Amino acid sequence: MSNPGAREYRFPGGFHPRDCERTKALTSSAPLTPFAPSERLILPLSQHIGAPGEPLVKKGDSLALGQVVASIKAYVSAPVHSSVSGTVVDIAPCMLPSGVAVPSIIIQNDYEDRWDPSVTPDPAPESRTPAQLRERIRAGGLVGMGGAAFPTAVKLNVPEGQAADTLLINGVECEPYLTCDHRSMLERTDELLDGAILTRVILGAKRVIFGIENNKPDAIKSIRDAIQRANIPDCTVAELPVRYPQGGEKQLIYAATGRKVPIGALPVTIGVVVLNVATTIQVSVTLRTGKPFVERAFTVTGRVREPKNLVVRLGTLVSDLVDACGGLEPDAVKLVLGGPMMGVALSRLQIPVTKGSSGIIALGLEDDIPDESPCIHCGRCTRACPMKLQTTMIDMYVRKRRYEAAKASGVMNCIECGACTYVCPAKRQLTQMCRVGKRMVPLLVK
């Protein structure tokens, strides 16, 4: 069995976040602990990239665990399933982390966890055709669990005339603080490997590579040992040095394979499909047990009294999870959903966990963003940018509302990783300006 563990390629830009190991140590040894479902859960109809679902239930309806409650026939979409058994209390707008209110199904939990009759196991998913497996994944509501929430069945449907020879499993988890993927690799190794092999069957891929940063030696060993025990050919672990944003799809592909994804193209055009660790585990769960996507691993960390890794039902409120971890420390000043680099600051705790949510971080004053000062033209942002953008120029163009110039400077290629803002000595809000530019260019520039 070959081993691409010695890294041969380094993606452009990036950096090693300070205190990355210290912040991860808060929960890296905390096992995945099931969180008892709350009394009420909120399921937004839009938890994925693509068309939002349409409600299939109404107020007063009785629900079973795993029952489809929202769906739509659009190709790029994913159904939503009830994460508990209970009763529909209401269908009303509820706030997402972005600050946008979307239609949501509010469920009163009856604590019986009665599974819907449609949830049936498959004793031999290996005998199914790729199309049948993709349909089961689509019906299970699977989306990318690393944050993007792109429907998994769509990603695994390789366009005609193209082929994916490499399945790359993203176990990098390069954001500081977050460790739920790390714990999943340790505690659910067999399901992870099984999901990768089943996905390989769907794609017809020749090889599987697990990309993992070397600050997780226990996970690397666990997966290598499992591969060796199962004697799986062309299945290896790429041990990568710690460098943010190595978890970005294009950056990981280059680091693990040396292949470059052209600007504006998808990874499958160069023969690679990337799945997050949690998504890969869910592939195994759904294809073997028939259980849809109704729960996920979730890190609660930072300035909370008892940082934990929890297994959480979708629709659980962040406030309930914070309470389960002993509440906030007195010096907590900011809550971020997701990682500290790419996450979203919350203005309230009554926000539900959705399919793309990976954690909640309570930050103190030392993590607060200082006021901006004028650009000193040091070039650090350009050196750190993994997409090789002149972010200081984009920053100027967006602030002056010169969106045509911002587009010409490549603002639409920004992956919003936050590297430029992190390294800027003037504390310019470069990533935010890129984010604003990406929203405005499609509206104002032809």
* Beta pairing partners, 108: 40, 87
319: Cα separation from own chain's centroid? 21
Answer yes or no: are the C-beta atoms of 49 and 148 closer than 8 Å.
yes
With 70 as the cut, is the pLDDT of residue 403 above it? Answer: yes
CA-nearest of 443, 165, 116 to 289 is 116
Residues 96-103, mean pLDDT to the nearest whole number: 85
Residue 6 above 70 pLDDT?
Answer: no
Query: Rounded mean pLDDT of 278-293?
Result: 98
Q: Rounded mean pLDDT of the chain?
A: 94
DSSP string computed for 251-280:
HHHHHHH---PPTT--GGGGTEEEEEHHHH
Instruction: Give the pLDDT confidence of 194-227 residue by residue, as tens digits.
Output: 999 999 999 999 999 999 999 999 999 999 999 9
Answer whether residue 33 shows pLDDT above 80.
yes
Under 8 Å between Cβ of 88 and 315: no
Domains belonging to the chain, first-starting first, are 20-30+121-289 (3.40.50.11540), 40-109 (2.40.50), 380-444 (no CATH)
Statement: residue 244 has pLDDT above 50: yes
Distances, alpha carbon 135 to alpha carbons 157, 168, 191, 197, in Å: 10, 21, 20, 17
Statement: residue 9 has pLDDT above 80: yes
Q: Which pLDDT belongs to residue 249? A: 95
Lowest mean pLDDT among 95-104, 269-278, 284-293, 400-409: 95-104
368 pLDDT exceeds 90? no
- Residue 161: beta bridge partners? none
The Cα-based distances of 184 to 30, 195, 227, 440 in angstroms read 11, 13, 16, 38
**Predicted local distance difference test score (pLDDT) of residue 262:** 93
Q: How far apart are the first and last CA of the chain?
A: 51
Q: What is the pTM of this model?
A: 0.95
Radius of gyration of the chain (CA): 21
- Mean pLDDT across 307-324: 97
Q: How would residue 3 be classed by pLDDT, with cut points 50, 70 and 90?
A: very low
Please give the pLDDT value at position 8: 60
Tokens describing residue 439: 């929203």
